[in-house]
Amino acid sequence: MKLLLDIGLSRVKWARYHNGALQYQGAIEHHGSADHIFYLLENNELSGLKSVCIAFVGEKTIQERLEYLIWKHWQISAEFIVADEEALSIFNGYNHPEELEADRWLAMLALHNESLPVCIIDCGARITIDLLNNLGQHIGGLSFAGLKQLHLAAAQARGQKLTEFLGDDQQDFAEDSFLATNPRDAVLAGSFYSVVATLDRVAQDLQEAFQEGEGLRFVLTGGDAEQLQELLGFATDYRPELIFEGMLAYLQKKNQKKLAV
């Protein structure tokens, strides 16, 4: 059994790959703690674990601590994926390929057998946008604050913790009007407008760049993708497990190379 981890700036998602099937397990806030991440894993049924593959975005100290805990408990050397120049006929567009975050690289690899061009929008704590042309070349991307980081910045500006600022019911803000009557609702509504407006404008610019009928499509993933999707002014394909799809493609290609040696 393989354990697959997608660790972002605020959340960890995990899945198991067993007997040829991907089994999604869950997602939760990790609070920037390797020990907290490991505690979540330790309390899941992982008997027969043979390997651990991780897409990690965050501080190096967290990565090193998690690597140590996994080795200490299971005697397994975790594999942390690093973006390469090329894989599966997808070509990394960064000047220094290894600087592209692993989750963004895997999201592109997940689409290697699908119609191109495509724009991938990952709606996590930070929002990233990456474009693949019809030849599988990564043209480049964008990265900016997502809902979580906008909320955190507002809380810090008021000298509050995020949980204190948002309160107990974080989703229940004024639905009858987009104009708020209290600080929290103003931030929540304003954050949505800010993110949606940015995504709509980027999509418009990209569609104009591909207006000659090349069929640009948009794929949406990430923790906030589902709630943002219904507000966007352009069509998107929601793929919640896109990173894990890319991870499986990456591992299968790697295993083929080993067998060929």
Instruction: Report whether pLDDT(32) > 70.
Output: yes
The mean per-residue pLDDT over the stretch 166-184 comes to 69
Query: Which member of 35, 84, 103, 168 is catalytic?
Result: 103
Binding-site residue numbers for K(+) are: 122
Binding-site residue numbers are: 6-13, 94, 122
Task: Report yes or no on 254 lying in a domain.
Answer: no
Binding-site residue numbers for ATP are: 6-13
Collapsing DSSP states into helix, strand and coil, what is residue 13? strand
Instruction: Report whether pLDDT(206) > 90.
Output: yes
The mean per-residue pLDDT over the stretch 144-158 comes to 93
Domain shared by 185 and 228, yes or no: yes
The mean per-residue pLDDT over the stretch 123-139 comes to 96
**Looking at residue 259, what is its pLDDT?**
40
Residue 108 lies in domain: 86-146+181-248
Name the domain count of the chain.
Answer: 2
Instruction: Report whether pLDDT(258) > 60.
Output: no
Give the Å distances, CA to CA, from 27 to 6, 148, 182, 238. Answer: 9, 15, 30, 17
DSSP class of 39: H
**Looking at residue 261, what is its pLDDT?**
36
Task: Report yes or no on 160 lying in a domain.
Answer: no
Task: Report yes or no on 94 lying in a domain.
Answer: yes
Higher-confidence residue of 260 and 2: namely 2
Model's pTM, two decimal places?
0.90
Domain shared by 231 and 107, yes or no: yes
Higher-confidence residue of 187 and 260: namely 187
Residue 194's domain is classified under what CATH number?
3.30.420.40
Residues 6 or more apart whose CB falls under 8 angstroms from that of 118 comprise 111, 131, 132, 216, 217, 218, 219
Give the pLDDT band of residue 176 (cuts 50, 70, 90). Answer: low
Instruction: Report whether pLDDT(173) > 80.
Output: no
Q: Whose structure tokens read 């960890």?
A: 12
Give the pLDDT band of residue 257 (cuts 50, 70, 90). Answer: low
Give the pLDDT band of residue 88 (cuts 50, 70, 90). Answer: very high
Give the pLDDT band of residue 5 (cuts 50, 70, 90). Answer: very high
**Looking at residue 174, what is its pLDDT?**
47
Give the pLDDT band of residue 175 (cuts 50, 70, 90). Answer: low
Binding-site residue numbers for substrate are: 94
Please state at what angle helix 183-209 crosses helix 147-157, rounded to 10 degrees. 140
Instruction: Report whether pLDDT(213) > 60.
Output: no
Give the CA-trace dihedral at 100, 57, 218, 83, to 10 degrees: 30
Collapsing DSSP states into helix, strand and coil, what is residue 138? strand
Domain boundary among 80, 111, 127: 80
Domain boundary among 63, 80, 97: 80
**Looking at residue 260, what is its pLDDT?**
45
- Is 103 a residue of the active site? yes
**Looking at residue 177, what is its pLDDT?**
64
Domain shared by 72 and 16, yes or no: yes
Domain shared by 75 and 97, yes or no: no
The mean per-residue pLDDT over the stretch 4-24 comes to 88
Interatomic CA distance for residues 145 and 72, integer angstroms: 35
The mean per-residue pLDDT over the stretch 219-245 comes to 96
As a whole-number percent, the residues of the chain with pLDDT over 90 amount to 67
Burial of 27 (0-12, 13-18, 19+ CB in 10 A): middle
